[in-house]
Each structure stands twice: as structure tokens, then as C-alpha cells.
Amino acid sequence: MTDSPDDAAAPAISALSFEAAMAELETIVRRLESGDVKLEESVTLYERGHALRQHCEARLAAAQARIEQVSLSADGKPAGTAPFGEG
């Protein structure tokens, strides 16, 4: 997805922290829910919001992987979790 000329000033999503991406996503949701946005802008906002959501999910998954790892039993089934770096 590329940035449109209207949001050229918007920061690249990959450069955003989790918190900044969530804040922008919340702003987009409020704008879309207000119903005061024209169709083209709504589509652009929706696309950016979708990309922000994916970015946030990826950041959360990466953080979770750093914090804990799944312990497997002898038969290969999950047996619990352990702090990252143990085991």
C-alpha cells in the first residue's frame, strides 16, 4: 500500500512505535465513526487503519515472542510457557 498525496505528511507505518500506531488508529476509528468523512477519504483512512492494525499485531507478536516461549512436552504438545531465554 502506498501513501496518497493527502497523507504525504503521515509517518511511515513501519517507523511507528506500537503506542503511536495505536493512537493514530484510534483517531482514524473516531473519524470514520463520525460519518463526516467523504467516501474517498474514508477509503484512504480505512486502508491506513488496516495497515496500522497489522503493524500493531506484528509488534505485539514480536514482544510476546521476546517475553515467553512455549515449552513442549516429550510428545511435542504444548506443556506451558517459560520466560524467554530459559530452557
**Where along the chain do its domains lie?**
5-83
Q: Where are the beta strands (DSSP E) in 1-87?
A: 68-72, 78-83
Domain 5-83, classified CATH 1.10.287, yes or no: yes
Mean pLDDT (whole number) for 5-13: 70
Beta carbons of 83 and 55 less than 8 angstroms apart: no
Report which of 35, 36, 51, 48 is spatially closest to residue 6, judged by C-alpha positions: 48
Rounded distance between C-alpha atoms, residue 6 and residue 62, angstroms: 31
pLDDT higher than 60, residue 14: yes
Residue-wise pLDDT tens digits, 42-64: 999 999 999 999 999 999 999 88
Q: For 76, which DSSP code?
A: S
